Chains A and B, each alone.
Chain A
Amino acid sequence: MKNEEGRAGRSFHGSIDDAQHAVSRQLMQVVVSTQHMDELLYWLARSFVQLFNIQVVQFWAVQAWQNGQQSLELRNMSCQEATLPSYVITNSHVVELVRGVLLKQQVQSFQSVEMLFSSYQANLLKRCELNYCTAYFLSNNLMLPPFNRDNIAGRVPTSLMMAMLLFFQSIPSARLLPTIDTLLKQAILAAGKRGLLLEGSAQNSMRRRQFSQPPDLYRLVPHHVPNREAMRSSNPFTNTEPLPDKDALRLYRTIDGQRTIGELAAATQLQEKFIYKALQTLLSRQSIQLVDTKGVIVDHRLLFPDRSDQIDDT
């Protein structure tokens, strides 16, 4: 019996080691091809969710403004459950926890959500099987550029002060949290070397930084993201809203997970502006996700800049 437990333990630890090596290896490749820090954060969040079986990963950061004020912004998030309602994990209770982590500048130890949140928020999280939570604090002398490149609207690069929030369904292996800590440090180091984090004063950094173009939209492959709780825990009739846009519906039906947006545009004979609008509709409803030629999921907010998850902290 003990031998079996030992084997199982070794096997699980082995899988964490394997995942850590996989992330480390891919990190070097991803950093080279990444054009913006938020792309890297998105990739990290996705990788942690997929490889370490974490239910939700969020990156929150302090954002400075030209008028001297500061706000707290959700820079990136990845959820194992695509249909998880955003109000459960992006609300004032969560912001309060993140603010505490950033103020204390220390890691929030792994705890049951009941110990960290009000009973209302804890119940809300537990209903979605988010039973445990932890948060990492990240800081650096380098500057984090604003998220929205095309419309920075008064935002300025800000000294890196970030919190990574993790939600778990069950208690993970004791080795997981140190592994994530190591990977985060590697990622920040690699981002600094690659120039994804800026050096020096805000103005000089912004001048020096040459943002390249986002990935070619027409070469990306859209994939359906099915509503995975419909017909299971939720009624498909009440939980599925009809697509308001006929072009979006037409495009959605043509998506087969193999053809690129360019090929789909040719197949549907939709004009560029209608394709663009249809994609925005489908992405905002989380009906699809875009994947590049290497099979990496693209953060669509870099293609369609539209910030709606900023939480004012001034």
Chain B
Amino acid sequence: MSYTQIDTLVLIIQIIVSFVVAVRAMRLYTRTGGDHLFILALSMAIISVVGVIGLLNDNFVHTLSTRWFRYIAQITSFFFIFLSTLRPPSKYLRLIKRWQLISVGLLVVLLALTPVVPQLANPHVEAVVNFGRASMCFVIFLNYATIFMSKETRFSFLMALAFFLICFGFGTITPWYLMKSQLLLVYVGHSMRALGLISLFVAFLIG
């Protein structure tokens, strides 16, 4: 399997998992009004859109500079998922929801600007941005690991596992941006990410 094929496979898993979770969360939100469901739905929807754009960009349209959008959108989505797990009081949850809507607006602007945004050509910058994604996932992993230590629930275990795998998936790929010949890093990184996404799906399915 080539690098592009593995990347495409991971993106397809990402699209399916995040789309299913987003639809389910949004459906339940319309019937309960729970703000944490709205935040989850919007975050997962953005991650799904990131997957679709990545898939199109990598396989069909190579000219657009979508990498900035893809990295920033994923980091902000993970950040809002993290915020919603901090047990904020209801008025802050509402505030988080408002900020998330504003961030989505800004992301749409960034997406619209992809034809004019410069390409993410510097491998050092790309490695740093990718490391940002890994760091955000690591913070979420730590949060769920702490919750699991005290509550010992299946959901917190699966979420901790999912974000651990996603984090190390991103983390493993980071050196590859600087050493493009080390394809093994890509294979290992993408495999971990795929397993992480499947764990995330299982967490929301049976957790």
Contact A236 B31 (CB under 8 A): no
Listed stretches B5-13, B63-71, B81-89; interface member: B81-89
Known interface pairs A225-B90, A226-B89, A228-B87; A235-B31 also in contact (CB < 8 Å): no
Q: Which residues of A contact B37 (CB under 8 A)?
A: 230, 236, 240
Known interface pairs A223-B90, A225-B90; A236-B28 also in contact (CB < 8 Å): yes
Question: Is A224 part of the binding interface, using a Cβ–Cβ cutoff of 8 Å?
Answer: yes
Question: Is B76 part of the binding interface, using a Cβ–Cβ cutoff of 8 Å?
Answer: no
Say how far A163's CB is from chain B's closest CB, in angstroms: 29
Q: Which residues of A contact B150 (CB under 8 A)?
A: 129
Question: Is B24 part of the binding interface, using a Cβ–Cβ cutoff of 8 Å?
Answer: yes
Query: Which single residue of chain B is at the shortest CB-CB distance from A81?
Result: B87
Contact A230 B34 (CB under 8 A): yes
Which residues of B (131-163) have their CB < 8 Å from a CB of A?
147, 150-153, 155-156
Say how far B40's CB is from chain A's closest CB, in angstroms: 7
Chain B: number of interface residues, binned into ranges: 20 to 34
Q: Which residues of B contact A229 (CB under 8 A)?
A: 151
Chain A: number of interface residues, binned into ranges: 20 to 34
- Specify the main secondary structure of chain A where it touches its partner: loop
Which residues of B (46-73) have their CB < 8 Å from a CB of A?
none
Contact B151 A127 (CB under 8 A): yes
Q: Which residues of A contact B25 (CB under 8 A)?
A: 236-237
Which residues of A (278-300) have their CB < 8 Å from a CB of B?
none
Question: Is B32 part of the binding interface, using a Cβ–Cβ cutoff of 8 Å?
Answer: yes
Query: Which single residue of chain A is at the shortest CB-CB distance from B91?
Result: A257
Q: Which residues of B contact A225 (CB under 8 A)?
A: 90
Say how far A49's CB is from chain B's closest CB, in angstroms: 15
Known interface pairs A240-B37, A257-B90; A235-B207 also in contact (CB < 8 Å): yes
Partner of A237 from the list B28, B35, B94 (CB cut-off 8 Å) is B28
Interface residues of A (CB under 8 A from B): 127, 129, 223-238, 240-243, 249, 252-253, 256-257
| With A230-B36, A233-B156 already in contact, 10 other A-B pairs whose C-beta atoms are closer than 8 Å | A224-B93, A228-B87, A230-B34, A232-B156, A233-B155, A234-B207, A235-B204, A237-B28, A240-B28, A257-B90
